Structure 1
Amino acid sequence: MNIIHSLAITSILTSTSALANINLTAKDGFTLKGQYFSAPSSSDSAVLMLHQCNYNQTMYKNIGKQLASNRIHALSIDFRGFGDSATTQYDVRTLSQLSTEQRRKAWQDMTAHWPSDVQIAYQFLKDKVGAQGKIGVIGASCGGSQAIELALNNQIAAIGFFSSAQNDKNIEKYTNSLSGKPTLIIAAEEDGRTYTSAQALFIEAKHSNSKFLAYKGKDHGYPLLDKDSNLTPAIVTWFSHQIN
């Protein structure tokens, strides 16, 4: 699939790895905001990081830095309507002011763009790693569904589900088409459907490098990164082994 996109680098911070705030132009002209953690130009591996729907791209800042330090390009984006990708037209913060029916329609209108928006982000990384490069994706909570759709339509080398509840339809998609890929699954035992669907995904996972990290309690997504200082390096190490 050939998708035309544009990129504007708005700022660069120099540390162990370079962090750039970037603009990606979606196919309808909408501007998506992201953070790109650059690896050496010779690197042919990358990870796309998709946030959960009660947070934004910044949840992956430390993971992105460590991936880049391990010679892996990393990109996190704000979904349309979230974080720095919110506009007067698309803004999740204003949905509560609408009636139930208006809220449902506004959510559907906004999220309908997400698969093509995520495709733009994937193409950005594909341009970095080249045709033979390897790209992994991790999706937290609602980002997991977008990770599945991306992996169904592109060459994804490894996939991660971070506190990401999946419905039966998505579990079936994973089972039929994605279960042979290395899969990292993270969930807390008291996190309801998130944990039971994580178990279902892991049962179907066929690759020997697939891994399930289970936590006590009910923390959902990014709070687990604060709770366990070993989780960030564990995620980075796992992806490094799959795509480096």
Structure 2
Amino acid sequence: MTPKTFVSALAAAKLPSVFNPWRDRCSIHDRRDAAARRRSNLQGMLEAALDAHVETIWIARDLGYRGGRRTGVPLTDEVHLTHASALMGGIALERATQGPEIAERTAAIVWQVLGRIGQPVMLWNVFPFHPHDADDPMSNRCHSRAEREETWPLLQALVSMVQPKRIVAIGRDAHLALAGLETEVTAIRHPSYGGQREFINGMYGLYGIAGDPVGSPELPLGPRYAETAKALA
């Protein structure tokens, strides 16, 4: 499967009480071509990840309504689209929504860590879409077992395409859900609900990074991407 066919397979999925950012359009916040922009964003991330021969996929549980639902890039809010662009070699990533940029706390912490690590990774979710309560499209809920089983082939296709040496599960729920994969899975605490420092320290330990984890660089700083990051600053 190629990045293009993978994104097309994602866009074809339709489930009740689930927002598919690569297919659906939010009538409140989205531009008219929002789904197409998000498809382009994700395809660009995938192509860059393959070009960079990324060795790791970070996988959380579900898309959040303030992050990947709006951008089409998992674990990435609108505030950090330029960070994602720089880390992946300067690819073009576009906003798909109107109005002010919306921040997501989890995305901010994830990109703080990625900025310090400075290595490209592939970001994903066990359940690739945004599950919400039936009467509240701007809520977050945990996906069901049936929803996970229905979309599991998409996760397997991604892993087969990227062929990572390691998968990092962000949070206990993601770790339990990924038990069926053949690739090695390392569990790191999710940064929400008081887990920020454990997440940061866990990731820094995984990548052999020492120092105070409080600092948050404005752009990714890896030597391979420093020139692009500087240009985007």
TM-score (norm 2): 0.41
**Higher relative contact order structure (alpha carbons within 8 Å, sequence separation ≥ 6):** 2
TM-score (norm 1): 0.40
